[in-house]
Amino acid sequence: MTKPIVDNDGSMIEPGLHDGLLYGIVTHPDKDELTLLCRDVEGTEFRIVVPEIVRLTVYEFMEGNIILDVSIHEGDNCPRESIRKAYCCDLTTGLEYLEMRMKEVRDGRWTLLEIDTSYGCELFAVSKAPADRINVEQVGRSGLP
């Protein structure tokens, strides 16, 4: 397994999954771990493993989820709006709850992995682990041309 490479804005550039496919989301009942199954436009399949998940929110997972961007942020760099979506906070009544969650993320240097798609789901995963504990593994090639 290798570590994902991200740019200064937190967007994952290696592996390059832009216009690829998110086709699987696996949670493990015996450990707080998330595994994401993805395929790039060349047909190479990857497994992204995020340890110590404390919150996972997925909106509109569909049969074909075309990845626009995968981003990884840690601590103070976690976007407030993404944390709000991860914890399903209402903007009018949930602000105090959101502030408590933001403090946990900042103080604990927790990690947010976010997948934004051009079609399909939005995914927000909050982990107690630092960003450098997220791993990516190439697991094969599909039969795509």
**Domain map (residue ranges) of the chain:** 5-139
Q: Which amino acid is at 51?
A: P
Query: Do residues 109 and 103 touch, judged by C-beta distance below 8 A?
Result: no
Q: What is the pTM of this model?
A: 0.89
Phi, psi dihedrals of residue 104, rounded to the nearest 5°: -60, -45
Q: Which amino acid is at 55?
A: R
Give the tens place of pLDDT for each residue, 10-64: 888 888 999 999 999 999 878 899 999 999 999 999 999 999 999 999 999 988 8
Mean of the pLDDT values across residues 101-125? 93
d(CA 115, CA 130): 18
Q: What's the helix, strand, coil split of the chain in %, to 5?
A: 20, 45, 35
Q: Which helix (H) or strand (E) holds 27?
A: strand 21-27
pLDDT of residue 142: 65
pLDDT of residue 84: 85
pLDDT of residue 96: 84
